[in-house]
């Protein structure tokens, strides 16, 4: 219960910047119900008085009141819906932006379900998409149907209690009893019934979304291995589970609507039973009989939403809990409050660096020690699992190191904010992400203000321009999700062109030529050597091609540097580097044949 109250408090605090609009929406909703009560009571009074055949002038004021309440009710209802939905959509937009901004500092250390992730919880793409879309959308019910109704019901209930009590206290007590039943007891029961169901419903929807995203992303592999039927059955099972929960939710909805009708009708009958003896004994003028009953009946318009509000509260809290679960993950990297230092050179110094993903695990990087001066090139090679890519992630501050030192331009990386580091460093990854847009849009990620001439120059350096020119739409060609319309080599060249366009003073090439053929690889490396002049460059690779131009080569195994030197020096000692190079030469000879 305390956890639910804490989440409720956090949701309510989100309304604070827009509290004025929320108050206006509540006032409009209150005015709508007041007009409805006024319309019903004046209509009942008009019909009762008209049955006694008075003069038309005696009914003029009442008839005017009916017309006014009828017109004003429609206007204020429209205003209330307009304000409340506009407010809700503004809040949902703020939630989406807030959630996305909270995601950025968590990537990749606390979100990606990769080996060595710092997070004990693995989040998949489908699950995060479900949180960002479906869970945020669920909060619409909270802000539209949960906040305003209790406030409006409390004001209307108190007002009607005193108004009906003015006729007879028994009317007020009957109304109070039915309002407590419909506005407190039944909503609490429905909340208890739907609380766990709401959590299961949201989790089932998230699981189905995850399965669908996995199926779509891996459909080619499913077809190749003829496993599409098994995946379809798993998805259908998740879908059936979701339908079961939705059916239970619909049953509770039906129960709620039935109870609403029974309560309002029961209140009318109870009022009638109390009123008839009072009319017979002359304690109540018969003209007011229909007025009192319809006043009580119409006041239930304020009570009726409470049961739905309680039911939606459970779903909203479950959705909010999933959102806060991600947002409350502590960021692995803490940006300093002080402004970043100004750099006049871009040397990289690593001293006694050790790193492990979790405290109980072994180090994946062990006592690394090296230096790369500006304008020099350092190559880091070794078998898979040696810790090369982990080192690259530490250099760009995707993870935080605690033991050892990494300095850029003479300043510890801890002194820089992440965005400053990312501005100084350009990275070519082994598995780059390309967005579902045009070639130009993907290139402009490197430099949003780049001119067409600069774009084409970068594409030429990456040996991509001629290919683009052959496309019907040129640089405006859409490449599909993750660049699916391009080959692996074309995607890699596009990524290299993007980094060239960024023109950062530090360059990290993580398997930059992994998807290129031998001829293209040599050409790209030649272009990159020209681009690397004057920059601090770190090449991370398992392909020992073009490393004779490196100023130093580090050979890693199991997180340690076991060899270091120039290309010809490492070949002479006939260690691991020589062994890897010999194997690769045999493969290259086979490729040539």
* Residue 240: pLDDT over 90: yes
Exposure of 193 in the CB half-sphere (CA atoms within 13 A): 19
Predicted pLDDT of residue 171: 92
Q: Across-strand partners of 428? A: 509
- Tell me the C-alpha distance between 387 and 364, whole Å: 6
Instruction: Kindly state whether residues 231 and 164 are assigned to the same domain.
Output: yes
Helix and strand element counts for the chain (H, E): 20, 10
At residue 117 the predicted structure's pLDDT band, cuts being 50, 70 and 90, is very low
Whether 113 shows a pLDDT value over 60: the answer reads: no
CATH number of the domain where residue 372 is located: 3.40.50.300
pLDDT surpassing 90 at residue 372: yes
Expressed as residue numbers, the domain containing 520 is 348-432+507-591
Residues 318, 357: one domain?
A: no
CA distances from 322 to 7, 123, 128, 144, 202 (A): 11, 11, 10, 20, 9
Q: Which of 27-36, 54-63, 70-79, 571-580 is predicted least confidently?
A: 54-63
Q: How many residues does the chain have?
A: 593
Tell me whether residue 476 is in a domain: no
Q: Please tell me whether residues 139 and 9 are part of one structural domain.
A: yes
Q: Comparing C-alpha atoms, which of 59, 198, 212 is closest to residue 125?
A: 212
Query: 591 or 240, which is more confident?
Result: 240
- Tell me: do 46 and 94 sit in the same domain: yes
Residue 112 has pLDDT above 60, yes or no: no
Domain presence at residue 534: yes
* 498 domain residue, yes or no: no
Same domain, 320 and 364: no
| Phi, psi dihedrals of residue 55, rounded to the nearest 5° | -70, 155
Q: Is the pLDDT of residue 120 over 50?
A: no
Q: How confident is the model at residue 589, as a pLDDT? A: 65
Assess if residue 340 is contained within a domain: no
Residues 370 and 267 in one domain: no
Decide if 329 contacts 119 (C-beta within 8 A). Answer: yes
The verdict on residue 139 lying in a domain is yes
Looking at the structure, tell me whether residues 377 and 320 fall in a common domain.
no
209 and 357 share one domain: no
pLDDT of residue 456: 92
Query: Tens of pLDDT along 348-369?
Result: 999 999 998 877 888 889 999 9
Do both 245 and 373 map to the same domain?
Answer: no
The separation between CA 242 and the C-alpha centre of its own chain, rounded to angstroms, equals 21
Computed on alpha carbons and rounded to an integer, the radius of gyration of the chain in Å comes to 35
Per-residue model confidence (pLDDT) at position 515: 64
For residues 258-278, give the mean pLDDT: 90
Worst-scoring range by mean pLDDT, 129-133, 437-441, 455-459, 475-479? Answer: 129-133
pLDDT for position 477: 92
Q: What is the pLDDT of residue 351?
A: 94
Query: Is 335 within a domain?
Result: no
Q: Region 305-317: what's the mean pLDDT?
A: 83
- Please tell me the distance from the alpha carbon of residue 286 to that of residue 51, in angstroms, as a whole number: 11
389's CB contacts (< 8 A; 6+ apart) are: 430, 510, 540
State residue 109's pLDDT score. Answer: 64
Q: Do 108 and 232 lie in a common domain?
A: yes
**142: closest CA among 285, 315, 337, 266?**
315
pLDDT tens digits, residue range 488-516?
A: 778 888 988 999 999 899 999 888 777 66
User: Measured between alpha carbons, how far is 405 from 389 in angstroms, rounded to an integer?
Assistant: 18
The reply to whether 292 and 422 lie within a common domain is: no
Reading phi first (left if > 0) and then psi (alpha if -120 to 50, else beta), residue 503 is in left
Tens digit of pLDDT for each residue in 558-586?
889 999 999 989 999 888 989 888 887 77
Q: What is the mean pLDDT of the chain?
A: 85
pLDDT confidence of 159, banded at 50, 70, 90?
A: very high
Q: In the structure, what pLDDT confidence band is assigned to residue 476 with cuts at 50, 70 and 90?
A: very high
Q: What pTM value is reported for the model?
A: 0.73
Same domain (yes/no): 215, 364: no
Q: What is the spatial distance between Cα 86 and Cα 92, in angstroms, rounded to a whole number?
A: 10
- The dihedral built from the CA positions of residue 158, 159, 164 and 165, taken in this order, carries a sign that is positive
- How many domains are contained in the chain? 2
Q: Which residues of 477-486 are buried (b: 16+ CB within 10 A; e: fewer)?
A: bebeeebeeb
In a domain, 443, yes or no: no
Res 45: pLDDT: 86
Q: pLDDT band at residue 19, thresholds of 50, 70 and 90?
A: confident
**Cβ distance 2 to 25 under 8 Å?**
no
CATH number at residue 126: 1.20.1560.10
Long-range CB contacts (within 8 A, 24+) of 471-478: 471/439, 473/438, 474/439, 475/438, 475/439, 475/440, 475/443, 476/438, 476/439, 476/440, 477/438, 477/439, 478/436, 478/437, 478/438
d(CA 424, CA 420): 6
- Which residue among 294, 328, 362 closes a domain? 328
DSSP state letter for 134: I
pLDDT of 111: 59
Q: How far apart are CA 215 and CA 205, in angstroms?
A: 15
Q: Does the pLDDT value for residue 183 go beyond 60?
A: yes
Q: What are phi and psi of 349, to 5 degrees?
A: -125, 125
Q: Kindly state whether residue 129 falls inside one of the protein's structural domains.
A: yes
């Amino acid at each position: 219960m305390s956890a639910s109250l804490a989440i409720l408090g956090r949701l309510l605090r989100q309304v604070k910047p827009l509290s004025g609009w929320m108050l206006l929406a509540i006032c409009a909703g209150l005015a709508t119900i007041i007009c409805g009560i006024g319309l019903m009571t004046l209509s009942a009074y008009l019909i009762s008085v008209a049955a006694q055949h008075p003069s038309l002038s005696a009914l003029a004021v009442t008839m005017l009141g009916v017309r006014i309440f009828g017109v004003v009710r429609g206007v204020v209802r429209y205003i209330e819906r307009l304000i409340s939905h506009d407010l809700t959509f503004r809040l949902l937009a703020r939630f989406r932006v807030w959630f996305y901004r909270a995601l950025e500092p968590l990537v990749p250390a606390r979100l990606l379900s990769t080996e060595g992730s710092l997070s004990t919880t693995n989040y998949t793409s489908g699950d995060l998409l479900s949180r960002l879309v479906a869970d945020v959308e669920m909060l619409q019910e909270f802000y539209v149907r949960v906040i305003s109704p209790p406030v409006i019901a409390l004001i209307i209930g108190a007002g009607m209690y005193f108004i009906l009590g003015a006729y007879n206290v028994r009317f007020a007590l009957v109304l109070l009893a039915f309002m407590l039943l419909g506005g407190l007891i039944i909503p609490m029961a429905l909340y208890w019934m739907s609380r766990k169901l709401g959590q299961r419903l949201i989790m089932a929807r998230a699981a189905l979304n995850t399965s669908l995203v996995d199926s779509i992303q891996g459909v080619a592999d499913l077809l190749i291995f003829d496993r599409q039927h098994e995946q379809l059955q798993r998805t259908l099972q998740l879908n059936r589970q979701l339908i079961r929960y939705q059916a239970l939710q619909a049953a509770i909805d039906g129960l709620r609507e039935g109870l609403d009708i029974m309560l309002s009708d029961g209140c009318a009958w109870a009022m009638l039973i109390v009123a008839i003896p009072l009319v017979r004994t002359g304690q109540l003028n018969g003209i007011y009989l229909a007025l009192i009953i319809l006043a009580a009946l119409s006041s239930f318009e304020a009570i009726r939403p409470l049961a739905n509000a309680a039911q939606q509260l459970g779903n909203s809290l479950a959705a909010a809990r999933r959102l806060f679960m991600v947002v409350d993950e502590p960021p692995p990297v803490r940006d300093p409050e002080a402004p970043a230092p100004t750099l006049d050179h871009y040397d990289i110094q690593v001293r006694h660096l050790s790193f492990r993903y979790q405290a109980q695990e072994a180090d994946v990087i062990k006592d690394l020690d090296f230096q790369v001066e500006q304008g020099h090139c350092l190559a880091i090679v070794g078998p898979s699992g040696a810790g090369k890519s982990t080192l690259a992630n530490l250099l760009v501050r995707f993870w935080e190191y605690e033991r050892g030192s990494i300095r850029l331009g003479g300043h510890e990386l801890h002194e820089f904010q992440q965005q400053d580091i990312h501005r100084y460093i350009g990275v070519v990854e082994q598995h780059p992400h390309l967005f579902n847009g045009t070639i130009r849009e993907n290139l402009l990620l490197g430099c949003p203000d780049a001119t067409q001439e600069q774009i084409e120059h970068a594409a030429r350096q990456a040996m991509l321009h001629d290919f683009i020119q052959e496309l019907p739409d040129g640089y405006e060609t859409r490449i599909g999700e993750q660049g699916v319309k391009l080959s692996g080599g074309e995607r890699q060249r596009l990524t290299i062109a993007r980094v060239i366009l960024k023109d950062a003073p530090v360059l990290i090439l993580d398997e930059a030529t992994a998807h290129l053929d031998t001829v293209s690889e040599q050409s790209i490396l030649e272009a990159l050597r020209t681009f690397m002049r004057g920059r601090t460059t770190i090449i991370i690779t398992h392909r020992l091609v073009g490393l004779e131009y490196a100023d130093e080569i580090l050979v890693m195994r199991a997180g340690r540097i076991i060899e270091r030197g120039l290309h010809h020096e490492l070949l002479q000692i006939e260690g691991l580097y020589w062994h890897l190079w010999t194997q690769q030469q045999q493969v290259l000879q086979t490729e040539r044949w």
